[in-house]
C-alpha cells in the first residue's frame, strides 16, 4: 500500500474505556505485539492487551496506589522488563513484574516538583527524567531494579516537558516551556554530559513551548511540535556522528504550519515514515515526505486529517513499533484511549 | 464610592479598590421557541452571568464585576466554533493576583460550559506588567492542571466561587 494512496484513512479499531480522568500518554510495549500502556490524571496506569483469539483489546492490569497525583508519562524499557512512570507527585517509579506477586517498584525521588517525562536509552542502560524544576536527570540502570544518579543537567530556564534519547546513540534531547530543544552529549563513556546545542528561535526554532520530540527510524531526522501551532523537521548527518567525529549539529529542514489551530501536544514518527500529530483541536493529523523516493529535497505534505478523533484534546499519539500493523494509539482529555489503523478505506 | 475594607492583620496590595456600579442584569425576554429539542446557542451574557459574581481573591465581599476586572465585553464567544475567550483586567498593573483569577475563570467555565468548548483566558493587553508570563501560564493546561491539584489553591478558588 503506497502512502500517497488517495483512499487512505485512519480507521478507529477500538475505544478503550476505563480511565476516570484525562489520559496524558500512551506507550506500546516494544517487545510484545498488541500490548499498550496508558497513564492518566486518575493517578493510575492501565495495561491493555489484544486477545489473539478475538482480536479485541481489554484492560489486563491497573497499576494504582503508588502515585499520589497525576501520572503524566510512561516508558517501557527496551526489553519491556521495566516500566517507568513520571508523576506530578514528584517521583519517578520503575516497575518490575508489575501486577504479579513478585512486583517490585523503585521510587526515584529527586525532582523538586512535578516530573513530566521519562525515557530509556536504546540499550536500556540509562534512564532520563525531567520536570517543572527545570532539571534533567540521567540515571545509570543497575541490576535488581536499582538506579545510580549519573548526571543532573541544568540549562533550561523553564519547565522541561519531555526528554527523549536518540534511537541509536546515547545523545539526550529535551524540550521545554522555555521554547527550546536542548541536546545533551557526553564526549566519553564517563558520563560528563553537556548541552552541546540549543534549538531556539534564533535558529529557526519554535516561538512557544515545545511539547514533544520524535525521531525517524534512521535517527537522522527529528520532528518537534509546539504551542506555537507548528511542527518542525530537523536533520543531522548521523553517519558522521556514528563514526566518532564528535558532535554534529542539527539543522532546520522545514516548518509545517496552518494545519492545527490549537496547541500540538504530541508527535510520533513511524518506522515507515508517517508523522502523526495530536493536538488541542481534537484532531490527529498525519504527514509524510512526498519526495522520500527521490533525491529531491524533502517535501512534507499532509497525508490525512482526522477531525474529532476524540471529543476533546488529543494529548498523545504513538505508532505501534512493529513494521506491518500500522496501528496508532491515542490518548485524550476525554478519558479515552483509542486504537486506530492506517488503511485503505473501502 | 465605598472604600475597601481594611484587615487588621494583613496588608492588602490594593487597599482601596475602586468599586464600579453594577450594570443592571438584563432580564431574558421570553423567546417564543416552542421546539423543546432545539438548543439555544450559548451567548455572551450567559457566559458573563457564570463569571461576573466570582469573588476577588483579595476582597472576598466584592465580585470581579464590582471591581471592573470583568465586564460583558470581557467575553468573546463563537458558539459555532465552540470557542470562548475571556479577557480580564487586573485592578493594578503590578498586583500579584492575576493568576488565581485566571485559574478561577478557567475552572468555573470548565464546570459550566458544554465539553465541546475550548476556552482561553488572558489578561487585557497593556493592563499588567507580567502580562506575557501570566497569559502563557494560563494557556498551558498542564501547568493549570498541576496548579489545580494544589489544595491551598483549590481552597482559595472555592472561596472565590462561593456565591
Contacts of B118 in chain A (CB under 8 A): 262, 280-281
Looking at per-residue pLDDT, the higher value among A179 and B22 belongs to A179
Contacts of B149 in chain A (CB under 8 A): 69-70, 88
User: pTM of the full predicted structure?
Assistant: 0.93
Taking residue A210's Cβ as centre, other Cβ atoms within 10 Å add up to: 29
pLDDT score, position A7:
86
Q: Residue for cell digits 536533520?
A: A235
Q: Name the residue among B115, B141, B145 with its Cβ closest to that of A311.
A: B115
Q: Using CA atoms, how far apart are residues A91 and A38, in angstroms rounded to an integer? A: 17
pLDDT score, position A275:
98
Contacts of A132 in chain B (CB under 8 A): 143, 146
pLDDT score, position B36:
59
Is residue B154 over pLDDT 90?
A: yes
Residue among A43, A177, A281 with most chain B CBs within 10 A, to mutate: A177
Residue among B83, B85, B119, B145 with most chain A CBs within 10 A, to mutate: B145
pLDDT score, position A298:
84
pLDDT score, position B6:
41
Segment A129-133 mean pLDDT: 98
pLDDT score, position B5:
41
DSSP assignment of B125-161 equals TTS-TTHHHHHHHHT-HHHHHHHTT-HHHHHHHHHHH
Is residue A6 over pLDDT 90?
A: no
Of A291-305, B107-121, B129-143, minimum mean pLDDT range: A291-305
pLDDT score, position B32:
52
pLDDT score, position A204:
97
Q: Residue for cell digits 518537534?
A: A224
Segment B60-84 mean pLDDT: 96
Q: Do A132 and B146 touch (CB under 8 A)?
A: yes
Contacts of A313 in chain B (CB under 8 A): 141
Is residue A1 over pLDDT 60?
A: no
Q: Do B149 and A70 touch (CB under 8 A)?
A: yes
Q: Do A313 and B145 touch (CB under 8 A)?
A: no
Q: Using CA atoms, how far apart are residues A66 and A45, in angstroms rounded to an integer? A: 10
Q: Using CA atoms, how far apart are residues A5 and A8, in angstroms rounded to an integer? A: 6
The answer, for A115 touching chain B at a CB cutoff of 8 Å, is no
Is residue A42 over pLDDT 90?
A: yes
Looking at per-residue pLDDT, the higher value among A139 and B7 belongs to A139
Taking residue A53's Cβ as centre, other Cβ atoms within 10 Å add up to: 6
Looking at per-residue pLDDT, the higher value among B68 and A297 belongs to B68
pLDDT band at B9 (very low <50, low <70, confident <90, very high): very low
Chain mean pLDDT for chain A:
95
Q: Using CA atoms, how far apart are residues B160 and A260, in angstroms rounded to an integer? A: 35
Q: What is the DSSP letter of A290?
A: T
Number of structural domains (chain A) is: 1
Segment B85-113 mean pLDDT: 92
pLDDT band at B95 (very low <50, low <70, confident <90, very high): confident
Q: Do B136 and A312 touch (CB under 8 A)?
A: no
Closest CA to A133 of A145, A120, A119, A117: A117
CATH number at residue A92: 2.130.10.10
Q: Using CA atoms, how far apart are residues B17 and A215, in angstroms rounded to an integer? A: 54
pLDDT score, position B34:
56
Say how many CB pairs under 8 Å bridge A and B. 34
Given a contact cutoff of 8 angstroms between Cβ atoms, the answer to whether A286 and A326 are in contact is no
Domain range holding A29? 3-344
Amino acid at each position: 500500500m503506497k502512502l500517497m494512496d488517495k483512499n487512505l484513512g485512519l480507521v478507529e479499531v477500538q475505544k478503550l474505556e476505563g480511565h476516570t480522568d484525562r489520559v496524558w500518554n500512551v506507550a506500546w510495549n516494544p517487545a510484545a505485539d498488541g500490548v499498550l500502556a496508558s497513564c492518566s490524571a486518575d493517578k493510575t496506569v492501565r495495561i491493555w492487551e489484544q486477545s489473539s483469539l478475538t482480536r479485541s483489546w481489554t484492560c489486563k492490569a491497573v497499576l494504582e496506589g503508588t502515585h499520589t497525583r497525576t501520572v503524566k508519562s510512561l516508558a517501557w524499557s527496551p526489553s519491556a522488563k521495566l516500566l517507568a512512570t513520571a508523576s506530578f507527585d514528584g517521583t519517578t517509579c520503575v516497575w518490575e513484574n508489575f501486577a504479579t506477586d513478585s512486583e517490585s517498584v523503585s521510587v526515584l525521588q529527586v525532582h523538586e516538583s512535578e516530573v513530566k517525562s521519562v525515557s530509556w536509552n536504546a540499550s536500556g542502560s540509562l534512564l532520563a527524567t525531567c520536570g517543572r524544576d527545570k532539571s534533567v536527570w540521567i540515571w545509570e540502570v543497575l541490576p535488581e531494579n536499582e538506579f545510580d544518579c549519573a548526571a543532573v543537567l541544568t540549562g533550561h530556564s523553564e519547565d522541561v516537558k519531555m526528554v527523549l534519547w536518540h534511537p541509536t546513540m546515547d545523545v539526550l534531547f529535551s524540550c521545554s516551556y522555555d521554547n527550546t530543544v536542548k541536546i545533551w552529549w557526553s564526549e566519553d563513556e564517563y558520563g560528563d554530559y553537556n548541552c552541546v546545542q540549543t534549538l531556539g528561535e534564533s535558529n529557526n526554532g519554535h516561538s512557544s513551548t515545545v511539547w514533544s520530540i520524535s525521531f525517524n527510524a534512521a535517527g537522522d531526522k527529528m520532528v518537534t511540535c509546539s504551542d506555537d501551532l507548528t511542527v518542525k523537521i530537523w536533520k543531522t548527518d548521523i553517519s558522521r556522528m556514528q563514526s566518532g567525529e564528535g558532535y554534529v549539529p542539527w539543522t532546520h529542514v522545514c516548518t509545517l504550519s496552518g494545519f492545527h489551530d490549537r496547541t500540538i501536544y504530541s508527535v510520533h514518527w513511524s518506522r515507515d515514515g508517517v508523522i502523526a500529530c495530536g493536538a488541542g483541536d481534537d484532531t490527529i493529523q498525519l504527514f509524510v515526505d512526498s519526495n522520500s523516493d527521490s533525491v529531491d529535497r524533502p517535501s512534507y505534505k499532509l497525508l490525512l486529517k482526522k477531525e474529532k478523533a476524540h471529543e476533546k484534546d488529543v494529548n498523545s499519539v504513538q505508532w505501534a513499533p512493529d513494521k506491518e500493523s500500522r496501528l496508532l494509539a491515542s490518548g485524550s482529555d476525554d478519558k479515552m484511549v483509542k486504537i486506530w489503523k492506517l488503511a485503505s478505506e473501502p | 464610592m465605598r472604600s475597601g475594607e481594611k484587615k487588621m492583620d494583613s496588608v492588602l496590595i490594593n487597599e482601596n479598590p475602586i468599586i464600579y456600579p453594577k450594570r443592571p442584569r438584563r432580564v431574558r425576554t421570553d423567546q417564543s421557541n416552542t421546539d423543546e429539542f432545539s438548543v439555544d446557542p450559548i451567548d455572551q451574557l450567559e457566559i458573563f452571568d457564570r463569571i461576573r459574581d466570582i469573588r476577588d481573591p483579595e476582597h472576598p465581599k466584592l465580585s470581579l464585576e464590582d471591581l471592573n476586572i470583568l465586564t460583558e465585553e470581557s467575553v468573546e464567544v463563537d458558539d459555532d466554533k465552540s470557542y470562548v475567550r475571556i479577557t480580564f483586567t487586573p485592578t493594578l498593573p503590578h498586583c500579584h493576583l492575576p493568576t488565581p483569577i485566571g485559574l478561577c475563570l478557567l475552572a468555573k467555565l470548565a464546570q459550566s460550559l458544554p465539553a465541546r468548548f475550548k476556552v482561553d483566558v488572558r489578561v487585557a493587553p497593556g493592563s499588567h506588567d507580567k502580562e506575557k508570563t501570566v497569559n502563557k501560564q494560563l494557556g498551558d493546561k498542564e501547568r493549570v492542571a498541576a496548579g489545580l491539584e494544589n489544595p491551598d489553591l483549590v481552597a482559595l478558588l472555592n472561596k472565590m466561587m462561593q456565591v
